[in-house]
Amino acid sequence: MDFSKWVLLLLIPCLFIPRSCLCSSKPGLTPEELARIPVEFLNLAQKPEIVDYMVGIRRRIHEYPELGFEEFETSKLVRSELDRMGIQYKHPLAVTGVVGYIGTGKPPFVAIRADMDALEMEESVEWEHKSKVPGKMHACGHDGHVAMLLGAAKLLQGRLDELQGTVVLVFQPAEEGGGGAKKMIDDGALENVDAIFGLHLSVKFPIGAVATRPGPILAACGFFEAVISGKGGHAAIPQHTIDPVVAASNVIISLQHLISREADPLDSQVVTVAKIEGGGAFNVIPDSVTIGGTFRVFSMDGLIQLKQRIEEVIMRQASVQRCNATVSFSVKPFYPPTANDKALHEHFKNIARDMLGPDKILGMEPLMGSEDFSFYTEVIPGYFYYVGMKDESLGKMESGHSPHYRLNEDSLSYGAALHASLATRYILENQQKSDAAKESSHDEL
């Protein structure tokens, strides 16, 4: 028999194979099965062994807080836990960052992110696990964020058979003003990633609830500093001086006119002068005064325009008072606005509804605060949301960046379960879209 007949005989049986057998061996999940995934993850996350694990991680990190790009011990702890779970990772990215991979190493790729850095302040909360590092404190919940992402990793490791794609665990340094997200991107943290999710714990919302919105959720942000120089002298003879204090006062008032007289009242903007330094005696006019502050707006074009006008106002108002001025802006990158992808908003609402119920999904207005998660959303579709931890039985809880900040550890289970659910369902719902890309993608693992 010649070769062509052999080929024909081999092909004939294939014509009678059902099409479903040519696809994945694992059939697609029904809507009911998909809806059960978030509930099952929450049930697992609330088991004592998972809760104790996350609480233990959070307290270890809380006792030894580290500032941006100095998270060496935190990063070491993360890598040690990933090693124990058998999760492969890349390190270092952005000095101390870690990126782990769970799944097949093939598309679709979805990332979940936690920031790791602490703040430069003394903790005032007296408890067993108070910060042991003078002048440093986890006062914004990043210790909890790391614990929840490691908890999510444990949950995901238990459902590897469903992960016909790759979950990327992003442990990021230096969110607090350092722009760590941008450096993570520059070092390849988002390679092949299709979407990214991030969260923040909040005392504003009740435990068991989440808060979010589509579109802009946090503002773009920049910082400035100006030195206004005149001629010092005795306060009793101001005519022999060029008073930089008066000049600085005029500058501060004029900067507020940028918002009240130039900005569209329907376009939220903020210019705040939060620092003023000058002089050290009641009867001496100083040679110079330094002012500094921040400006916020919901578009990068608006941020650049506001930056230009801040510089113009400071220079010209100082000149009116016969002073000179130098204006500098933060060498750290300006934070873009954080905007939630509308398709991912629907994805999030579906997950949160299945897990928590529709009444636990709270709407919110955009906030003038900033987050370097925004750098991720500039590159790929991203989604940022808040996990509530308010509990009346715990009394008044201070918001972030307070030395009296406390974290409700009961909230950790919700964050871990949301991380795991968002990633798993994203992969399951996007498998077919990625089939064509699988052929050309390289294997991350």
Give the separation between CA 169 and CA 35, rounded to whole angstroms.
23
Residues 6+ apart with CB under 8 A from 289: 227, 228, 244, 245, 247, 248, 276, 277, 278, 279
Whose tokens are 């270092």? That residue is 92
Residue 401 known to bind ligand: yes
Q: Is 91 annotated as a binding residue?
A: no
- For the beta carbon of residue 191, count every other beta carbon within 10 angstroms: 13
Q: Where are the beta strands (DSSP E) in 145-255?
A: 166-172, 195-206, 210-212, 215-218, 220-229, 233-234
Q: Is 126 annotated as a binding residue?
A: no
Place of tokens 């340094």: 173
Question: Burial, 359: exposed, middle or buried (Cβ in 10 Å; 0-12, 13-18, 19+)?
Answer: exposed
CB 306 within 8 A of CB 254: no
CA 93 – CA 428 distance, rounded (Å)? 29
What gap in Å lies between CA 334 and CA 19, rounded to an integer? Answer: 52
Distance between CA atoms of 216 and 300, rounded to whole angstroms? 12
221 annotated binding-site participant: no
User: Are the C-beta atoms of 249 and 347 separated by less than 8 Å?
Assistant: no
Here the tokens at position 221 are 């942000």
The reply to whether 176 sits in an annotated binding site is: yes
DSSP SS3 for 104? coil
- Radius of gyration of the chain measured on its C-alpha atoms: 27
Instruction: Give the residue carrying structure tokens 């873009």.
Output: 336
State residue 312 phi and psi, 5-degree precision.
-60, -45
- The secondary structure element, H or E, covering residue 296 is strand 288-297
Binding residues: 140, 142, 176, 200, 401
Binding residues for Mn(2+): 140, 142, 176, 200, 401
